[in-house]
Homo-oligomer: A and B are copies of this chain.
Amino acid sequence: MDLKDVIRYEADRIDAEMRRDLAETVGVAPLLAEILEYGLFSGGKRVRPLLTVLCSRLCGRDDEQLYRLAAAFEYLHAATLFHDDVIDHADTRRGRMSVVKRYGRDGAILAGDFLHAQAMAMVGHHGGVDALAVFAEATRGMVNGEFLQMDQCCRADLSEDDYYSIIRGKTALLIGAACQIGVMFAGGDDRYRSALRAYGLNLGSAFQVIDDLLDYQGDSHHTGKAVGNDLAEGKVTLPLILALQQAGEKERAEVAALIQDEGRRGESFAVVTRFIEQFGGYQLARRQAEQLAANAVTALEPFRRSVDDQSLHILVQLVQYVIGRRK
């Protein structure tokens, strides 16, 4: 099976697991049930649960309970998206109305809280308290990443380190946790645990760097979202950071003034795009994403002789997919 088939096959299994779990949860208010149905089953790729499944398999365990554990990552991810879309005033998600747009702010906040609680209970139940600690740490890290980002809004002097702290929290920690918890579930030893956590952290960071690149360079026809969102919201991301490092004092000051002036930020997209292009920001950012991707693949080294070479192969393909994506 090639990657797309595997993703589709495993996503179906995760979806079935979520449906089973929701059906077992009795007494859910009708409106809540409708929001969960709408918000959860919208054709996501279920990458986080897939990582848990693959990492557990790679360490020798594959059973029904693994999917119950893995589904928790999709619940938490969905909870995060519900709340993020409230915060970002996002009207669309996965090519259709966001939960907040369709059901309003109160429904989005509360349904997110419901999934959050359910996710925690599932990880505790199927993965044990050590897995729960990792899971909760990633959740707190996501929140913290959002705060760091708010705090550093519109700052042209944002460093690469600051940027990586933000995306680690926002994106990479949960992906790393999905991998690590897969190992823990299978009883894999510390070496495996830290190897696959490192794989996930690097994969997640590479994913976010590419995402931030696509926010400048993406074809909105392909990505399903408009370009220039980050800049419009005052988010300074890697391509711009790296271009600012290369630019002279004068150009840097000009761009910094543009970013800080909320009134001009809308019209400044063309100027900033040209600036990043001129100073090689796109190329440099892509190179860093490729380095992160290479690190992810290197982290798989201990599994080179794994009996489960299919799971290993998919983990490698996932890295290539993240780096190669155009949407």
Tell me the A139-158 residues at the B interface (CB within 8 Å): 139-140, 142-144, 146-148, 150-151
Interchain CB contact under 8 A, A29 and B83: no
- Cβ contacts A103-119/B at 8 Å (1 or 0 each): 00111011111101110
CB within 8 A of A110: which of B29, B32, B143? Answer: B143
Interchain CB contact under 8 A, B109 and A87: yes
Which of A123-131, A239-247, A291-299 forms part of the interface with chain B? A123-131
Interchain CB contact under 8 A, B118 and A140: yes
Interchain CB contact under 8 A, B143 and A114: yes
Interchain CB contact under 8 A, B133 and A129: no
**Shortest beta-carbon distance, A105 to chain B, in Å?**
8
* Band of interface residues on A: 35 or more
Closest B residue by C-beta to A112? B113
Q: Is A136 close to B, CB under 8 A?
A: yes
CB within 8 A of A144: which of B28, B83, B148? Answer: B28
Instruction: Report the Cα distance A124→B142, complex, angstroms.
Output: 20
A27 partner residues in chain B, CB cutoff 8 A = 144
Instruction: Report the Cα distance A148→B28, complex, angstroms.
Output: 9
Interchain CB contact under 8 A, A140 and B124: no
Closest B residue by C-beta to A149? B29
Q: Is A190 close to B, CB under 8 A?
A: no
- Cβ contacts A269-300/B at 8 Å (1 or 0 each): 00000000000000000000000000000000
Q: Is A253 close to B, CB under 8 A?
A: no
Q: Is A248 close to B, CB under 8 A?
A: no
**Shortest beta-carbon distance, A244 to chain B, in Å?**
23
**Shortest beta-carbon distance, A87 to chain B, in Å?**
5
Interchain CB contact under 8 A, A120 and B136: yes
Instruction: Report the Cα distance A87→B104, complex, angstroms.
Output: 10
Contacts A87-B110, A110-B83 given: A132-B120 contact, CB under 8 Å? yes
Instruction: Report the Cα distance A132→B112, complex, angstroms.
Output: 18
Instruction: Report the Cα distance A120→B132, complex, angstroms.
Output: 8
Interchain CB contact under 8 A, A151 and B31: yes
Contacts A133-B125, A136-B117 given: A148-B29 contact, CB under 8 Å? yes
Instruction: Report the Cα distance A8→B118, complex, angstroms.
Output: 34
A140 partner residues in chain B, CB cutoff 8 A = 25, 114, 117-118
Q: Is A121 close to B, CB under 8 A?
A: yes
A125 partner residues in chain B, CB cutoff 8 A = 129, 132-133
- Cβ contacts A88-112/B at 8 Å (1 or 0 each): 0000000000000000011101111
Given contacts A83-B109, A120-B136, 15 further A-B contacts (CB under 8 A): A29-B144, A29-B147, A31-B147, A87-B110, A109-B109, A113-B116, A116-B117, A117-B120, A117-B136, A120-B121, A121-B135, A125-B133, A128-B129, A129-B129, A129-B132
Closest 10 CB pairs of A and B: A121-B136, A29-B147, A117-B139, A120-B120, A114-B143, A124-B132, A32-B147, A124-B129, A117-B136, A87-B106
5 A-B contacts (beta carbon < 8 Å): A29-B151, A86-B109, A107-B147, A111-B143, A120-B120
